[in-house]
Amino acid sequence: AQSVTQLGSHVSVSEGALVLLRCNYSSSVPPYLFWYVQYPNQGLQLLLKYTTGATLVKGINGFEAEFKKSETSFHLTKPSAHMSDAAEYFCAVRLTDKLIFGTGTRLQVFP
Amino acid sequence: EPEVTQTPSHQVTQMGQEVILRCVPISNHLYFYWYRQILGQKVEFLVSFYNNEISEKSEIFDDQFSVERPDGSNFTLKIRSTKLEDSAMYFCASGAGGRSPLHFGNGTRLTVT
């Protein structure tokens, strides 16, 4: 069965530092993987997706993620954090026609 | 850019009352979903809807819940007799199918007192 695990429920970085949010997946078939961001009191906004093709995918707001089949990972990165990146980030895998979400990682950015 | 819209943004109801949460999916999408997020917890799948019928539902989606697409544009979630534990943020989503992502609304925060 498909599932995702997000390591670290909270991540804190300084403004300008590298952001790394970890996601590992479990899937019996080639996965479709997604990262969504949730700003306070808002809905879920798609950051980026991997379906097939290039394993390094770029998303909005300078984020990118790399699909690594050998490690069953899809970690989200951003070279330089901004204060506005503070939010909850969810990794998700597609199972049939629905998404299965991880438990989320709350990113805090300190000045 | 087209978006999924949900109304109301907040709903307060008393235990045992019926509530209807409303959603207008993106117009050319064919797949519709409801998810919920209890405060501080993960986003959980409730139900998917395609071709005017439920295609899949989770164990959370019991007989108290129902969905409907009454007029070709709205997609509603009804909770027949609300319980305290139904308090959560409810998200509607729609998708075009295949490899396309789901697009989510901003949610309805339901508080059952």
Strands B103-104 and B88-95: antiparallel
Interface test with B, best of A99, A100, A101, A105 (most B CBs within 10 A): A99
Query: Where does the pLDDT of residue A108 fall: very low under 50, low under 70, confident under 90, or very high at 90 and above?
Result: very high
The closest of A84, A85, A34 to B95, measured between CA atoms, is A34
- Please tell me what DSSP assigns to residue A107: E
Q: Kindly tell me if the per-residue pLDDT of B72 is higher than 90.
A: no
Residues of A in contact with B101 (CB under 8 A): 34, 46, 49
Lowest mean pLDDT, pick from A35-44, A80-89, B24-33, B43-52: A35-44
Q: Kindly tell me if the per-residue pLDDT of A96 is higher than 90.
A: no
Q: Are A99 and B50 an interchain contact pair (Cβ–Cβ within 8 Å)?
A: no
pLDDT of residue B110: 98
Residues of B in contact with A104 (CB under 8 A): 42-43
pLDDT of residue B9: 94
pLDDT of residue B82: 97
- Residue A53 touches chain B, beta carbons under 8 Å: no
Give residue-wise pLDDT tens across range B13-69: 999 999 999 999 999 899 999 999 998 888 999 999 999 999 999 999 999 999 999
Interface test with A, best of B5, B43, B55 (most A CBs within 10 A): B43
Residues of B in contact with A90 (CB under 8 A): 42-43
Interface test with B, best of A98, A101, A105, A106 (most B CBs within 10 A): A98
Judge whether B3 and B103 are in contact, CB under 8 Å. Answer: yes
CA dist A104 and A92 (Å) reads 9
The closest of A84, A85, A89 to A102, measured between CA atoms, is A89
